[in-house]
Structure 1
Amino acid sequence: MNLFTTIQQFVPQQKISKAAGRLAASRHPMVKRAFIRSFAKAYDISLEDYERQSLNAYESFNDFFTRELKDDARAIDTTAQGIVSPADGLISQLGQIQDHKLLQAKGRHYDIGQLLANNEDGNYFADGSFATVYLAPSNYHRVHMPFAGTLIKTRYVPGTLFSVNTTTAANVPDLFARNERLVCLFDTEYGKAAVVLVGAMIVAGIETVATGKIARTNDIQEADHDMKLEKGDELGRFYLGSTAIVVLPKAAKADWQDNIMANTAVQMGQLLGLANNISIEETE
């Protein structure tokens, strides 16, 4: 385990994230200006693709960090049965779920039931497929639908707040199944599917269109929904960077594109692969 990962185990993760959240939400002109300008300079952020193209147009750092794209900034791939990237970012890993395990990094796997915080759901997705997208600080930080479906349940799972970058993923066992996360479950044309929004160090919050901003608790929170969303619709957003994991059932027969692999940069709406689905009735 490297020094960066070791340090994260001993710092007060929740307190740091809470303090960062208060500063990020501040609308004080000097505070927001300092944070926004310093961040934009540090990460060389261009506003060319965004609706508001002046740093002065944002009411707080959170407002800047969750900035909205221009309507034509991202094309949603329309390939029949296509699964698209839910976010701008980097493919951390993608592939098949084998023996209930997802690949986290070379030599490290974690359990699908642990990720979803539900063994019954874990059994359902055994032998399915997944794609993990890491959102770097410079990326667009809204998460969109990788497929069309009806949101039926959200499950907030409290946890640690390790960084989710490649270094930490390679060194912390069960990283994505240990960190705070919000599991979103959907009914789709090929059965149940999921998008998991994983929190991280200094992430000040997770929000979805169905739940609003999630209030942190020490217990799992579940809520039922009946919200139909089309491919490319906004699902949620991160207040500071993190990871989105797309989970598909075996029935989807997902076939990932040959040019999409670990460390591939992707944009929201870009085709990741095809769900060569069979009807739900055939799976019963």
Structure 2
Amino acid sequence: MKKAIYQSFVELSGNRFNSYLLRTFTKSKVSKLINKSFVKVYNINEAEMEKPLHDYGSLQELFVRNLKKDARIIDEQPNSIVSPVDGILADIGEITENCTFFVKNQDYSLLEMLGNKNRAEKYKEGTYIILYLSPSHYHRIHTPVSGTVVGKWALGNKSYPVNELGLKLGKRPLSRNYRLINEIKMDNGKHYSLVKVGAMNVNSIHPTYSGDSLKKGEEIGYFSFGSTVVLLFEKDTIKVDNSITVPMDVKVGMKIGSI
């Protein structure tokens, strides 16, 4: 019962007013009273936290917590592609020649997701990777491959569930929710896009990087609430690591493929 209640604090709500109330509560000092219970219910590893649990002044502060410096090891192989988040690698597959991919019985159009035909066609016959973050996960987002930011834009103005049920029953939430997108050019000249998908009507995606040069493993932003990251790679850019299965748990810095 507690888990269901707590999940409502950080999962999607299709009602803007409800989302506002939830956001207000989680940022309040009163919400600190449930931090200990929240950590217990979601089995969050306190040893990894940057600060002791009692130093977090609200549920929101706990949710967007940083980790200790060496809590995540970034794979240092020059050509490796690493997970940008702690989460569940929910799906991976090929993008069609029509710039679409199929997830949970729904067709997703890159034109709709990226908002531009030229951007969409860049990833024709490429690879997509979907990573879902539950309330239990660390919610900072990191760079999967070093490169230079060549585009950044936002699309959409509402957010609906992107959890398992939301992907099945929602109307293409990955390409219709509020999303913040970075397109990054790698050292080999190829591009990938990192699509951060909002998971509440508060559209809680916060960039943290400065400048255009990004190093693999560097933090680039965080989610205030549970959400999803979609990675898009150009054709013949990525070779998925043999150890990867779907679905599987991943952590920031874990190798998921190679350039």
TM bracket, shorter-chain basis: 0.7 to 0.9
Is contact 2:143-2:219 (8 Å) kept? yes
How far is the alpha carbon of 1:102 from its aligned partner?
2.2
The answer to whether 1:36 aligns with 2:35 is yes
How far apart are the structure 2 equivalents of 1:269 and 1:143? 11
**Which of 21, 24, 29 is matched with 1:22 structurally?**
24
Gaps of 5+ in 1: 1-10, 212-225, 276-284
**Which of 114, 134, 137 is matched with 2:132 structurally?**
134
How far apart are the structure 2 equivalents of 1:258 and 1:43? 30
Q: TM-score, length-normalised on structure 1?
A: 0.80
Residue 252 of structure 2 is matched in structure 1 by 268
How far is the alpha carbon of 1:210 from its aligned partner?
4.3
SS in 2 for 1:76: coil
Residue 243 of structure 1 is matched in structure 2 by 228
Is contact 1:92-1:166 (8 Å) kept? no
How far is the alpha carbon of 1:183 from its aligned partner?
0.8
Paired residue type of 1:185: E
SS in 2 for 1:185: strand
The answer to whether 1:206 aligns with 2:190 is no
Residue 84 of structure 1 is matched in structure 2 by 82
Gaps of 5+ in 2: 1-12
How far apart are the structure 2 equivalents of 1:204 and 1:250? 31
Q: Deviations over 1:74-123 (max 9, x none)?
A: 11112231111000110111121113112322x32201121112222001
Residue 71 of structure 1 is matched in structure 2 by 69
Which stretch shows the higher mean deviation, 260-269 or 201-210? 201-210
Residue 218 of structure 1 is matched in structure 2 by none
Is contact 2:14-2:159 (8 Å) kept? no
How far apart are the structure 2 equivalents of 1:73 and 1:121? 35
Residue 47 of structure 1 is matched in structure 2 by 46
Deviation >3 Å, runs of 4+: 201-204
Is contact 2:209-2:219 (8 Å) kept? no
How far apart are the structure 1 equivalents of 2:58 and 2:203? 13
How far is the alpha carbon of 1:67 from its aligned partner?
0.7
Residue 195 of structure 2 is matched in structure 1 by 196
Is contact 1:179-1:198 (8 Å) kept? yes
Q: Deviations over 1:210-258 (max 9, x none)?
A: 48xxxxxxxxxxxxxx511100000110001100111111152x11123
Which stretch shows the higher mean deviation, 161-170 or 66-75? 161-170
How far apart are the structure 1 equivalents of 2:203 and 2:196? 13
Is contact 1:203-1:241 (8 Å) kept? no
Residue 15 of structure 2 is matched in structure 1 by 13
Q: Deviations over 1:19-63 (max 9, x none)?
A: 22222222x3xx1322423422331222111211x2211133222
Which stretch shows the higher mean deviation, 197-206 or 226-235? 197-206
Is contact 1:94-1:103 (8 Å) kept? no
The answer to whether 1:256 aligns with 2:240 is yes
How far apart are the structure 2 equivalents of 1:202 and 1:156? 14
How far apart are the structure 1 equivalents of 2:44 and 2:202? 19
How far apart are the structure 2 equivalents of 1:178 and 1:246? 16
Paired residue type of 2:78: A
Is contact 2:87-2:251 (8 Å) kept? yes
How far apart are the structure 1 equivalents of 2:117 and 2:15? 27
